[in-house]
């Protein structure tokens, strides 16, 4: 399926009296990876949650392709969200964790009720199309050898790959990732960000990636949107950002050791 252009149009959001987002506009081209980079509290997660439909903007709109998403329910938005804390189902194998979103879509609501109990394990085997998707996704993420394991028997990096697999398995046209590497140690973070970049090139899904780590942003992004206090200060390719920061605050932030 072709990637979708994502357009964030003049989004504003207040929590109480605080302007968390002020007139934020960003266009992400089909297949592009744009990173929201900025200090803690600048509004990155709120913007991502608005794109996902988990939070409503006070003003502005989000478009996917030509479609305005305002009234589209989160589950119908053709996007996948990867969080910093990737909650895997502890009692399910890697295989069943990755299969879960597809199985949920197939099962009737009655069957879905005991899902977190005993219905899910093995359910995927009833659907050959699901089995193929899970194996394809696992191969891309190099999880093939781990399919029978439970999350407790995996390393942090492996668990994060399972979380990515669970997001990828539905082949969403838009990917949203909120600091997905923040819980990993430094070496693994660098390794995994390389994997995400490779994966992005391979799949070509339109992606918004969030981080407060400048090096991470520079390493994986087509373009970086630098945010301060709920506003986008500059959007540029990483090299251009470092060469030509728009003001002193951006320059200082980029120069910070991480
Ligand atoms: P970031 O992801 O860049 O660290 P957030 O989007 O999480 O920033 O938060 C931006 C600001 O909005 C912060 O000041 C935060 O405390 C506030 N905020 C976020 N979510 C809520 C909420 N549900 N209710 C009230 N304030 C919130
Ligand atoms: Mg955040």
> Ligand 1, atom 27: nearest CA belongs to which residue?
15
pLDDT at 123: 63
Q: H or E segment at 99?
A: helix 94-106
CA of 145 to the centre of ligand 2 (A): 33
**What was the ipTM of the complex prediction?**
0.98
pLDDT at 117: 47
35 half-sphere exposure, CB direction, 13 A CA radius:
29
Q: Which residues contact 166 (CB under 8 A, 6 or more apart)?
A: 88, 97, 98, 100, 101
Q: Which of 41, 230, 233 to mutate to test the pocket of ligand 1 (most atoms within 8 A of CB)?
A: 41
pTM: 0.89
- For residue 43, give the ligand 1 atom closest to its CA: 6
pLDDT at 120: 58
Local structure of 88: helix, strand or coil: coil
pLDDT at 233: 97
* Tokens (6 digits) for 1: 């399926």
> Which pLDDT tens digit goes with each residue over 179-220?
988 878 888 888 888 888 888 888 889 999 999 999 999 999
| Residue spans of the chain under pLDDT 50 | 117-118
Question: Would the CB of 43 count as within 6 Å of ligand 1?
Answer: yes
- For residue 55, give the ligand 1 atom closest to its CA: 23
């Amino acid at each position: 399926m072709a990637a979708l252009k994502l357009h964030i149009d003049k989004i504003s959001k207040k929590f109480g009296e605080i302007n968390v987002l002020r007139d934020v506009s960003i266009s992400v081209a089909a297949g592009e990876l744009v990173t929201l980079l900025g200090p803690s509290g600048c509004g990155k997660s709120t913007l991502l949650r608005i794109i996902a439909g988990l939070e409503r903007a006070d003003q502005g709109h989000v478009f996917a392709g030509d479609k305005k998403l305002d009234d589209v329910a989160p589950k119908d938005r053709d996007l996948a969200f990867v969080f910093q804390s990737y909650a895997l189902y502890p009692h399910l194998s890697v295989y069943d964790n990755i299969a879960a979103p597809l199985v949920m879509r197939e099962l009737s609501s009655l069957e879905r009720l005991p899902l977190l109990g005993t219905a899910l394990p093995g359910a995927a085997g009833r659907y050959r199309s699901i089995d193929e998707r899970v194996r394809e996704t696992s191969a891309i993420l190099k999880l093939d050898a781990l399919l029978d394991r439970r999350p407790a028997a995996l390393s942090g990096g492996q668990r994060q790959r399972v979380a990515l697999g669970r997001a990828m398995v539905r082949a969403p046209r838009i990917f949203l990732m909120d600091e997905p590497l923040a819980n990993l140690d430094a070496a693994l973070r660098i390794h995994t960000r390389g994997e995400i970049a490779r994966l992005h090139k391979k799949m070509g899904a339109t992606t918004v990636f969030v981080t407060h780590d400048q090096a991470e942003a520079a390493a994986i992004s087509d373009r970086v949107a630098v945010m301060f206090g709920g506003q986008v200060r500059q959007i540029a390719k990483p090299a251009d950002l470092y060469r030509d920061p728009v003001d002193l605050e951006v320059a200082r932030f980029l120069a910070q050791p991480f």
